[in-house]
């Protein structure tokens, strides 16, 4: 009976590890590389009629070419407010509007900016690894609490399974970080 609890915990750790990795993917996608990507604007919120509204909920954001995003607001009266919100988000982009749409031109990344972005990528990756290790620690604590109800062999096997899952998750994190670094270094 208690062995099932260890199996349940083992399955829960998979879910928790996947959440950490999904969060890492969203963080990496929101980092600006040299190409236009609408995900960059996913965290921009606009003060729209007294409420903070995500820009992607009040506009159609499209990629017009490799280095340009076009933001077409559903309510053109919020154009200036949206433009200010994009500037305030400090994305390193200069919004230009023609009275109907906002255009965002992505400049070529300088070598210095690339190095800064790579440092950010490594930091986000390291934070993800710390989160994964914390999840492992919590899972092992559950295993220790159940130690009196299950055999030592089962507990040892559980700890090996958790460690193996952690190693796999860390490999995924490292792979995602390397891919993002390669993307940033691409000219």
Q: Where are the beta strands (DSSP E) in 32-168?
A: 45-48, 51-54, 59-65, 68-73, 94-97, 101-105
For the stretch 23-34, what's the b/e string if a residue is b when 16 or more beta carbons lie within 10 angstroms of its beta carbon?
ebeebbeebbbb
At 3 the pLDDT is 59
Question: Quick one: pLDDT band at residue 18, thresholds 50, 70, 90?
Answer: very high
Q: Which CATH class is domain 38-105?
A: alpha beta
Residue 66 reports pLDDT greater than 70: yes
At 32 the pLDDT is 63
Question: Quick one: pLDDT band at residue 185, thresholds 50, 70, 90?
Answer: confident
At 1 the pLDDT is 38
Mean pLDDT score of the chain = 85
Domain 2-30+110-185 annotated CATH 1.10.132.20? yes
Q: Where are the domains of the chain?
A: 2-30+110-185, 38-105
pTM over the 0.85 mark: no
């Amino acid at each position: 009976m208690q062995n099932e609890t260890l199996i349940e915990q083992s399955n829960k750790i998979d879910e928790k590890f996947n959440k950490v990795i999904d969060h890492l993917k969203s963080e990496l996608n929101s980092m600006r590389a040299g190409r236009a990507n609408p995900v960059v604007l996913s965290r921009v919120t606009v003060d729209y009629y007294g409420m903070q509204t995500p820009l992607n909920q009040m506009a159609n954001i499209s990629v017009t070419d490799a280095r340009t995003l076009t933001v077409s607001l559903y309510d053109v009266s919020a154009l200036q407010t949206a433009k200010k919100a994009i500037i305030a988000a400090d994305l390193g982009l200069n919004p230009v509007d023609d009275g109907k749409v906002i255009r965002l031109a992505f400049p070529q990344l300088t070598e210095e900016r690339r190095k800064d972005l790579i440092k950010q990528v490594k930091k986000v990756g390291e934070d993800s690894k710390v989160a994964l290790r914390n999840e492992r620690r919590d899972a092992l604590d559950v295993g220790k609490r159940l130690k009196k109800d299950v055999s030592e062999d089962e507990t040892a096997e559980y700890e090996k399974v958790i460690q193996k899952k952690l190693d796999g998750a860390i490999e995924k994190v490292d792979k995602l970080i390397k891919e993002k670094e390669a993307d940033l270094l691409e000219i």
